[in-house]
Amino acid sequence: MTIRDFVAKHGITATVARGEPLPNWGGPHFAYRVTLYMPGDQRRRYTLPFATGTGWTREPTAADVLECLRSDASSVDSARDFEDWARDLGYDTDSRKAESTYRACLKVAARLRRFLGADAYAELMTAEEA
C-alpha cells in the first residue's frame, strides 16, 4: 500500500493555507499551515507548519505531508535513544541542535500516533512512498 492509498483508505483530507516563513528552513521556501483531518470526528485533526522548496509547483497534499511526518516519526521509532538516532542520521551526538531536532521528531511521532490511532499509525509506518 502506498501513502496515497493509505490516505484514501482512511479518508484523510487536508486544508492548506499560506504560512509564515520558517526561520530554521535555511533557504528560500514556500511556507504553509496544513491541517490534516480524519473523517467522522472533528477533534481528530493535526495542524502543523509545513514547507517545500521553491522547486515545488503545487501545494502539498495530505499524502505529501504524511510522507514527511512518517519519515520523521520512523527515524525516532527505530532508534533506542538520542545517540543511536544521531549516529544513524549522521548527526554529532554532542550537538544541541541535533538534540533539538531529535526532540522535535519525538513530538511528531507522538502527535501523529495520537492523530491516527495506534493501528493506523502502524499501517502508515509500513506504507510505501507515494
Interatomic CA distance for residues 99 and 94, integer angstroms: 8
Q: What is the mean pLDDT of residues 55-61?
A: 93
Model-level pTM? Answer: 0.91
pLDDT at 41 over 70: no
Q: Of the candidates 16, 20, 21, 56, which has an alpha carbon nearest to the alpha carbon of residue 37? A: 16
> What sign for the dihedral angle of Cα 87, 46, 24, 59?
positive
pLDDT at 42 over 80: no
Total length of the chain: 130
pLDDT at 129 over 90: no
Q: What is the mean pLDDT of residues 10-20?
A: 94
Categorize the per-residue pLDDT at 45 as very low, low, confident or very high, splitting at 50, 70 and 90.
very high
Interatomic CA distance for residues 86 and 73, integer angstroms: 14
The single residue listed with the C-alpha cell 507522538 is 110
Q: Of the candidates 75, 76, 74, 29, which has an alpha carbon nearest to the alpha carbon of residue 49? A: 29
pLDDT at 13 over 90: yes
Q: Cα 37 vs. chain centroid, distance in angstroms? A: 14
